[in-house]
């Protein structure tokens, strides 16, 4: 079976797979407006740092394409100034959908850069819009290729590390957290891409992944992706990471990232920090795999990363397909899965951060499409080479 996809681009429409319904139901949702794209990201119908940046950029491009065909054209196409005001407002709105994943901010900043240079070049509103449409599509187009590059860099690095330590570099077992595969990106994935690369090159024995409570990206999404790709895998409950490391040969933990600070501190799905502490205790390398667009060189360390707090209810329920889901509609009439409360009603004091920050100290390598960074003799990362800013 072909790999799963998060976004389907048609000549005149964009569709996303509704990740809230996976793994039990495959439902494609058409995204027609900026508001729908914002809502889909905020409610996590689409999630994963690169995928949300792709959807925002594609819907932004689609919205402008449609505006160019309107007759009469919308007033914001009447002058570069009007277009600038409209584009800035739209991009700022899209960036508010989720705060931690910087890829969304990188994409909106990149589009604003094109806006500025096209205005600076004295172009007419229609041509500025065309430039923006092209750039929006390019942001999505670039993702698949760079994922394959980082997967290869990271996979080769790990094999060499294992060999340096006296191992054969084959029969590797790699654990991951959350979902970083084709559902979280525009294809192949980041950390799950590294695992896929090891599998494709015959170096992988087994992938291990955590359920990743409370949203269960592991048990719902990573499980489905690994099953689809026929990669041998074992799921563990989040509380079993220590036990896994004590009783099994785990060669590495590979995780994605939502934002990497200049010193290498990395925000990723909640539970990554727990895994990192345990990996360090057991001498297992922790590899962060992410595109350059996830690196935020503007912030010195992880204390500056905004951490998204998800609604408390998400930590109080498990979702499943126990009941006919067609009877279960949200306020907008969309299908929802049955949610089973696992807490007493009225519980207060619920802590539900979506991400945690793993200090650079616990990270062995940071991999992007440009290469692998490891800590220098001073124990610090220098990310300039792997971000192309050297």
Q: Which residues bind ligand MRU (CB under 6 A)?
A: 47-50, 101, 178, 180, 184-185, 190, 217, 256-258, 268-269, 354
Residue closer to ligand MRU (CB basis): 125 or 302? 302
Which position's Cβ is nearest ligand MRU?
256
Least distance in Å: CB of 69 to ligand MRU?
33
Least distance in Å: CB of 37 to ligand MRU?
15
CB 359 within 8 A of CB 379: no
User: Which tokens sit at 253?
Assistant: 């933990």
205 membership: H or E segment, kind and range: strand 204-210
Residue closer to ligand MRU (CB basis): 190 or 387? 190
| Three-state secondary structure call for residue 353 | strand
Active site (annotated) includes residue 32: no
Residue closer to ligand MRU (CB basis): 161 or 225? 225
Residue closer to ligand MRU (CB basis): 80 or 187? 187
List the Cα angle 388/355/238 in 5-degree steps: 115
Residue closer to ligand MRU (CB basis): 46 or 360? 46
Least distance in Å: CB of 389 to ligand MRU?
21
User: Which tokens sit at 185?
Assistant: 């990106």
Please name the residue ranges forming H helices in 178-282: 191-200, 217, 223-228, 241-247, 272-281
Between 34-42 and 80-95, two packed helices, what is the crossing angle to 10 degrees?
20
Q: For residue 222, give the DSSP letter.
A: I
Least distance in Å: CB of 191 to ligand MRU?
7
CB 271 within 8 A of CB 212: yes
With b meaning 16 or more CB within 10 Å and e meaning fewer, what string describes 235-255? bbebeebeebbeeeebbbbbb
Residue closer to ligand MRU (CB basis): 83 or 267? 267
Residue closer to ligand MRU (CB basis): 118 or 266? 266
CA atoms within 13 A of residue 82's CA, in its CB half-sphere: 10
Which candidate, 113, 63, 59, places its Cα nearest to that of 86?
63
Residue closer to ligand MRU (CB basis): 219 or 268? 268
Least distance in Å: CB of 64 to ligand MRU?
26
Least distance in Å: CB of 241 to ligand MRU?
16
Least distance in Å: CB of 97 to ligand MRU?
11
User: Which tokens sit at 345?
Assistant: 């009603």
CB 194 within 8 A of CB 231: no
146 membership: H or E segment, kind and range: helix 125-164
Least distance in Å: CB of 104 to ligand MRU?
10
What is d(CA 337, CA 226) in angstroms, rounded to the nearest whole number? 22
Options 63, 143, 251, 258, the catalytic residue: 258
CB 269 within 8 A of CB 178: yes
CB 42 within 8 A of CB 22: no
Residue 146: burial class (beta carbons within 10 Å; 0-12, 13-18, 19+): buried
Which residues are known to be catalytic?
258
């Amino acid at each position: 079976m072909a790999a799963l996809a998060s976004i389907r681009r048609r000549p005149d429409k964009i569709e996303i797979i509704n990740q809230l319904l996976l793994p039990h139901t495959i439902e494609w949702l058409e995204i027609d407006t900026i508001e729908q794209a914002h809502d889909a990201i905020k409610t996590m119908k689409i999630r994963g740092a690169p995928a949300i940046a792709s959807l925002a950029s594609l819907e932004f491009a689609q919205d402008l394409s449609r505006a160019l065909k309107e007759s009469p054209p919308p007033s914001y196409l009447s002058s570069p100034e009007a277009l600038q005001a409209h584009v800035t407002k739209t991009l700022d709105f899209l960036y508010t959908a989720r705060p931690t994943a910087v890829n969304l901010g990188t994409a909106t900043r990149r589009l604003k850069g094109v806006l500025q240079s096209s205005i600076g070049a004295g172009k007419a509103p229609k041509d500025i819009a065309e430039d923006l449409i092209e750039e929006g599509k390019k942001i999505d187009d670039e993702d698949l290729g760079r994922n394959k590059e980082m997967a290869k860099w990271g996979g080769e690095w790990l094999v060499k590390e294992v060999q340096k330590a006296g191992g054969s570099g084959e029969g590797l077992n790699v654990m991951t957290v959350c979902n970083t595969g084709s559902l979280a990106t525009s294809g192949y994935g980041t950390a799950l891409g590294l695992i896929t690369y090891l599998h494709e090159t015959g170096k992988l024995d087994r992938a291990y992944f955590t359920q990743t409570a409370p949203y269960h990206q592991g048990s719902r999404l990573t499980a489905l992706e690994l099953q689809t790709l026929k990669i041998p895998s074992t799921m563990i409950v989040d509380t079993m990471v220590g036990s896994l490391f004590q009783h099994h040969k785990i060669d590495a933990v590979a995780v994605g990232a939502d934002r990497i600070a200049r010193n290498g501190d990395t925000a990723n799905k909640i539970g990554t920090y727990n895994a990192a502490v345990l990996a360090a205790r057991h001498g297992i390398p922790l590899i962060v795999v992410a595109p350059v667009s996830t690196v935020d060189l503007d912030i010195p360390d992880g204390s500056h990363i905004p951490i998204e707090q998800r609604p408390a209810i998400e930590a109080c329920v498990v979702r499943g397909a126990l009941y006919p889901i067609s009877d279960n509609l949200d306020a907008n009439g969309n299908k929802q899965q049955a949610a089973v409360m696992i807490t007493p009603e009225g519980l207060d004091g619920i802590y539900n951060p979506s991400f945690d920050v793993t200090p650079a100290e616990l990270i062995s390598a940071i991999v992007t499409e440009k290469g692998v960074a490891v800590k220098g003799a001073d124990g610090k990362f220098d990310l300039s080479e792997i971000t192309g800013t050297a």
